[in-house]
Amino acid sequence: MSDISNKVKEYFSFKLLHKDINCGARAGIITTPHGEIPTPVFMPVGTHGAIKAMPPSFLYQMDTKIILANTYHLHLSPGPELIQKAGGIHKFMGWQGPILTDSGGFQVFSLQRKSIKEEGAEFKDLEGKTILLSPETSISTQQKLGSDIMMAFDECIPYPATRDYVEKSIARTHRWLRRCIESWKNEKQALFGIIQGSTFDDLRTKCVEEVCSLDLPGYAIGGVSVGEGHELMKKIVTFTAPQMPTEKPRYVMGVGTPQDLLMIWENGIDMSDCIIPTKYARGGTLFTSRGKIRIRHRNYRRDFYPVDTSCVCYTCQNFTRSYLKHLFDSNEILGQILTTIHNIAYYKKLAEKAREAILENRYLEFKAEVSKYYPVDEETSQEDLNSD
């Protein structure tokens, strides 16, 4: 246990309020220097310090509790020093609620040309300049950004991976974690450790034991949503989550379909993030209480109902499906803004309803009702991911 871990408890805490008596789903509250976060919570992703097509004023109106920003991208541009001079990421982007920054590990994972070594991950930026992102660099960048929650730098293990590769990778990731802790100096920022291990149960257990022995403010399950599919993801989460400390927040990184969220919440996960609601919105795919709709479809040309008659978001209260289709047909940016507002509102409401159901010990009934419209075997088509 480090001295900083004790000091951070003055600014960051997690309180478990209730666990559903019929499953592992749980409700709690995270306290940060920039506000409280009821859990379970879904975090919209603001990769470059902005939620795409979403003004911060609408995030405030929807009472959004926390957003995510990306260390890798902000490190490259505009750079942590500039953001620090601007007063930190909160002031720079005009958002005074809690912010979580990821470490950059996933972005490095997604690069085709990279070199993973003991020092860190080496790659070239768009101008051809060689960049080394190390545990020290990642934590230094996040501290200059001033986020409420920082993620430790790790290697996001690809799927599939051999056992030998995974063993070597997690050993290095654990060494990196200790270097992250040594670089962690700001007690107002909580540092979360990340549990890897790919699809190997014993290696997941080994990671839980080693990472959680360091008594960090929170812990995340990493290395999922990397192509393994829902059933394997479920196997990993169902196996790993119960081994994680009950008194610390649990986070599954990069998970964001309604089907996956329903599964991880059932297994006691408190936090998640993904680009899916905003990415889908910009492509014209909307989430509703009756399943997904694709607003570009010709059927909506004369449809004068709101996207979702049960939704109270700004979009649904003021505009019709017909108008949204017209905006997309006309390539008007307002269409992307209005669909993004709706999808973020849907995800927020889904988490709020899940929390309410947990507190009333009826989460499984809630999950079954939503699952009728979001079956696990529903495929994600490329059309869902296309944006204008």
Q: Tell me, what amino acid is at 372? A: K
Element (H, E) at 249: none
Element (H, E) at 102: strand 99-102
Query: What is the rounded distance in angstroms from the CA atom of residue 233 to the CA atom of residue 278?
Result: 22
Q: Which two tokens stand for residue 47?
A: 């990769």
Contact yes or no for 338/327 (Cβ under 8 A): yes
Instruction: Taking the CA atoms of 193, 136, 272 and 87 in sequence, report the sign of the dihedral they define.
Output: positive
Query: What is the rounded distance in angstroms from the CA atom of residue 324 to the CA atom of residue 212?
Result: 47
The residue annotated as part of the active site, out of 154, 260, 270, 273, is 273
**In the structure, how many helices (H) and strands (E) does the chain have?**
17, 16
Element (H, E) at 101: strand 99-102
- The dihedral region occupied by 72, where left means phi > 0, alpha psi between -120 and 50, and beta the remainder, is alpha
3-state secondary structure of 132: strand
Burial class for 326, CB neighbours closer than 10 Å (0-12, 13-18, 19+): middle
Contact yes or no for 170/206 (Cβ under 8 A): yes
Buried b (16+ CB within 10 A) or exposed e, 188-213: bbbbbbbbbbbbbeebbebbbebbbe
Nearest to 384 by CA among 294, 305, 300: 294
Query: What is the rounded distance in angstroms from the CA atom of residue 344 to the CA atom of residue 57?
Result: 13
The CA radius of gyration of the chain, in Å to the nearest whole number, is 20
The residue annotated as part of the active site, out of 20, 102, 154, 260, is 102
Query: What is the rounded distance in angstroms from the CA atom of residue 260 to the CA atom of residue 233?
Result: 8
The yes-or-no answer on residue 329 being catalytic is no
The yes-or-no answer on residue 102 being catalytic is yes
Active site residues: 102, 273
